[in-house]
Amino acid sequence: MTGKLIFKMEMFKFKNDKKYLMTAGIIGVLNTILALMVINMDVMNYYDYGMLGTVIGFYFMLMLGNIIFMFFYPFHVLSMDYKNNVIATMIASGVNRTKLFVSKIGAIIVNTIMIGLITTFVPFVLLMLKATYEAGFGIFFEEILGFFQIVDIDFISLMLMGLTSYLGMIMMMTAASTILKGGNLSFLLFIGFSMATSIATGILSSITTAFDLYGTGLIVYNIFINLIIIAVFGYLGLSAIKKQNL
Amino acid sequence: MIEINELLMTYGTNEVLNIRSLSLDEGVSYGIVGHNGAGKTTLFKCITNIIMTYRGSIKIMGENVKERNEILTNVGLVLDGMSVYTNQTGWFNIQYFAGLRGDYNEERVRQLAADLDLYGVLDQKVKTYSYGMQKKLILLIALIHTPKILILDEPFRGLDIDTVRWFKDYLKQLTKEGLTLLISSHVINDLEELCDEVYVVDRGRISEHIDLKTEKARQYRLIDTTNNTRLIEILEENIIPFEMKDERIKLDIDSAKWGTVYQQLQNEGIEINEMSRVKVLEEKLN
């Protein structure tokens, strides 16, 4: 049984998770409606307080919904096997625990990206069209790149930092969920991990001051910290699943 | 086929399993029996890596299961309390678990589903299934890949008579083809019908090994007469071993010898109040 096969079946599970795909679809539609509202802001009557209040309220509710869903989805994927008591059946079928752990993380990353695309792709395209409509496509991107040059930040490093930060978060979620066997308290443990990590990185931040790091240097430092977080929580999660009685 | 050495499993200070050595051969059917909490299910869970915190070694086909979990693709397992994705359909679960092993054979699935009378409900969500139907589905999943070893914990509980009949015949056919079967059951008739050997587990230890080929037919008599004292004298005169059990006389003798004793009782006008036959195996298992 290869890791590729386990990953393939995780994706098969994702495709059949209709309830969550539908929820993602609904959030995507609501995001699109919000994007259309934002695009038409210039024709809105700002003295119509009722309308304005509705738009602002809708905006905050929807953002909250997006955040909850994006956090909840990885937890749902991670805890599904434990909650259904299926993980024992999987292990007894010959699934290697290490391969299961790695494949699951891979599947969560791919699935979360896909869910992110479902919920934000259309609104993002609409907003980009609006942004580039007046100034033109080339000028719009020149302005963005110009901004990065001014603040001395390498765009690729910034992307890498975002990616490693996201992976670190997934590792923390996976470790929390694995240690508590998908229990409802996993989320609290994840918050605990996040707080502990914040304290540790806060203490380590003196390094940035000592070396006078800023711009791209600061980003490289953060990437390094994120890699340590990935390694620590990856090890914690893997150790837990390898020794766990199911 | 399965080699267990120095297996020790504890929960805190409570010793759940302590098996020095157990060797299970290919193509043999083994019954694992014992009281509730004796350690049967824990043993099955250790063999299939569901429990990992044991000491000692378990080898399947020469491979240590802790180190090479993949060897379990040769094993089919049905445990009480095992589950599948209940929010999904039967088909989904079959495709998922067969897919994990990489050997999904739809034709075989259809045949097994038809034999288990499950075919008509495979499109429905598992949470709508009865206990027996869920058990049939787990059974089907365990059988899809034609395992070399089949581990069944109380497999017939919750199944209808027709399915039990079919399943027993199917198991007999598989064992003829070389399947190694480990089955736990409290029903002696099931064990007698399916097993070659039985291991009795008592407080985590193997307390007895019974070869059913020799022990199956053995029975003893429990007798109560109008004059038990005289019966004991007759037995002593004829040098027939006996023992007292619940104020009755327990005799482990063949029909010919019993005929002699019975004749003597008749001649002396001693009447039999009660006589029952108990299988030797049944006594050992209770």
Quote the minimal CA–CA distance from B206 to chain A in Å.
Answer: 23
What residue in B sits closest to A93 (Cα-Cα)? B73
Instruction: Pick the residue of B100, B143, B146 with the most A CBs within 10 A to test the interface with A by mutation.
Output: B100
Q: Do A16 and B88 touch (CB under 8 A)?
A: yes
- Give the predicted TM-score (pTM) of the model: 0.78
**Is A18 at the interface with chain B, CB within 8 A?**
no
- State yes or no: pLDDT of A140 exceeds 80: no
CB within 8 Å: A245 and B52: yes
- Checking if the pLDDT of A135 tops 80, the result is no
Q: Is B95–A1 a contact, with Cβ atoms under 8 angstroms apart?
A: no
- Please state, in angstroms and rounded to a whole number, the distance separating the CA atoms of residues B173 and B51: 31
Average of pLDDT values for A174-188?
Answer: 89
Q: What is the pLDDT of residues A32-76, one digit of tens each?
A: 988 888 787 776 666 777 777 777 888 888 888 888 888 788 888
| Residues of B with Cβ-Cβ distance to A243 under 8 angstroms | 52-53
Nearest to B264 by CA among B241, B235, B285: B235
Cβ <8 Å between B100 and A16: no
| Residue A96's pLDDT band (cuts 50, 70, 90) | confident
- How far apart CA B141 and CA B100 sit, in angstroms, is 11
The DSSP secondary-structure symbol of B1 reads -
Report pLDDT for B285.
63
Residue B83 token pair: 């589950």
B216 — pLDDT class (breaks 50, 70, 90)? low
pLDDT of residue A231: 95
Per DSSP bridges, beta strands B149-153 and B180-184 are parallel
Mean pLDDT, chain B, integer: 86
Q: Quick one: tokens of B105?
A: 């054979």
User: Would an 8 Å CB–CB cutoff place A1 in contact with chain B?
Assistant: yes
- pLDDT tens, residue by residue, B243-282: 888 788 888 887 788 888 888 888 888 888 888 887 766 7
pLDDT score, position B215: 64
Q: How far apart are CA B36 and CA B80, in angstroms?
A: 13
| pLDDT at residue A206, rounded to an integer | 77
In terms of Cβ atoms closer than 10 Å to its own Cβ (0-12, 13-18, 19+), residue B135 is buried
Q: How confident is the model at residue B152, as a pLDDT? A: 92
Domains and their CATH numbers in chain B:
2-215 (3.40.50.300), 218-285 (3.30.70)
Note whether B85 and A86 are within 8 A (CB).
yes
Buried b (16+ CB within 10 A) or exposed e, B74-113: bbbbbbeebbbbbebbbbbbbbbbbbbbeebeeebbeebb
How far is the alpha carbon of B16 from chain A, nearest alpha carbon, in Å?
A: 14
Question: Given an 8 Å threshold on Cβ–Cβ distance, is B73 in contact with A94?
Answer: yes
Nearest residue of B to residue A5, measured between CA atoms? B100
Q: Which residue has the higher pLDDT, A83 or A172?
A: A172
CA atoms within 13 A on the CB side of B8: 8
Averaged pLDDT, A12-16: 87
User: Considering only CB atoms, which chain B residues are within 8 Å of A245?
Assistant: 45, 50-53
Residue pair B30/B198 in contact (Cβ under 8 Å)? The answer is yes
Task: Output the pLDDT for position B164.
Answer: 87
Q: Which residues of B touch A19 (CB under 8 A)?
A: 87
Is the confidence at residue A152, as pLDDT, over 90? no
Mean pLDDT of chain A: 84
Q: What is the pLDDT of residue A45?
A: 66
Q: Calculate mean pLDDT across residues A75-91.
A: 84
Highest mean pLDDT among A231-245, B149-163, B187-201: A231-245
Q: Which band of pLDDT confidence, cut at 50, 70 and 90, is reported for residue B218?
A: low
Q: Can you tell me the ipTM of this complex?
A: 0.77
Beta-carbon separation of A94 and B70 below 8 A: yes
| Chain B residues inside the 8 Å CB shell of A85 | 81-83
**Which residues of B touch chain A, with CB atoms under 8 Å apart?**
45, 48-53, 69-75, 77, 79, 81-88, 92, 95-97, 99-102, 138, 141
pLDDT of residue A216 exceeding 90, the answer is: no
**How close does chain B come to A121, measured CA to CA in Å?**
28
Amino acid at the residue B151: I
pLDDT-above-90 percentage for chain A: 17
Instruction: Give the model's confidence band at A17: pLDDT under 50 very low, under 70 low, under 90 confident, else very high.
Output: confident
Residue pairs between chains A and B whose CB atoms are closer than 8 Å: 92
User: Residue B149: its chain A contacts at CB < 8 A?
Assistant: none
What tens digit of pLDDT does each residue of B175-202 get? 888 899 999 988 888 888 888 888 988 8
Which chain A residues contact residue B52 at CB under 8 A?
242-245
User: Would you call A137 an interface residue with chain B, using a CB distance cutoff of 8 Å?
Assistant: no
pLDDT tens-place string over residues B15-43 = 889 999 989 998 899 999 888 888 889 99
For residue A233, the model assigns a pLDDT of: 95
Distance between B259 CA and the closest CA of chain A, angstroms = 54
User: Taking CB atoms and an 8 Å cutoff, what residues of chain A touch B79?
Assistant: 88, 92
What is the average pLDDT across A139-158? 75
Q: Is A9 on the interface with B (CB under 8 A)?
A: yes
B100-118 pLDDT tens trace: 887 788 888 888 888 888 8
Distances (CA, A) of A65 to A59, A72, A191, B278: 10, 10, 19, 69
Q: pLDDT for B61-95, tens place per residue?
A: 989 988 888 888 889 898 887 888 988 899 999 99
> Does any CB of chain B come closer than 8 Å to the CB of residue A21?
no
What is the rounded distance in angstroms from the CA atom of residue B94 to the CA atom of residue B119? 12
Confidence (pLDDT) at A179:
92
- Residue A95 carries which DSSP code? -
The residue of A89, A91, A181, A246 whose CB has the most chain B CBs within 10 angstroms, and thus the best one to mutate to test that interface, is A89
Interface test with B, best of A1, A6, A93 (most B CBs within 10 A): A93
Q: Over range B129-147, report the average pLDDT.
A: 88
When comparing pLDDT for A189 and B286, which is higher? A189
8 A C-beta contact, residue A189 and residue A176: yes
CB of B285 closer than 8 Å to CB of B198: yes
The amino acid occupying position A241 is I
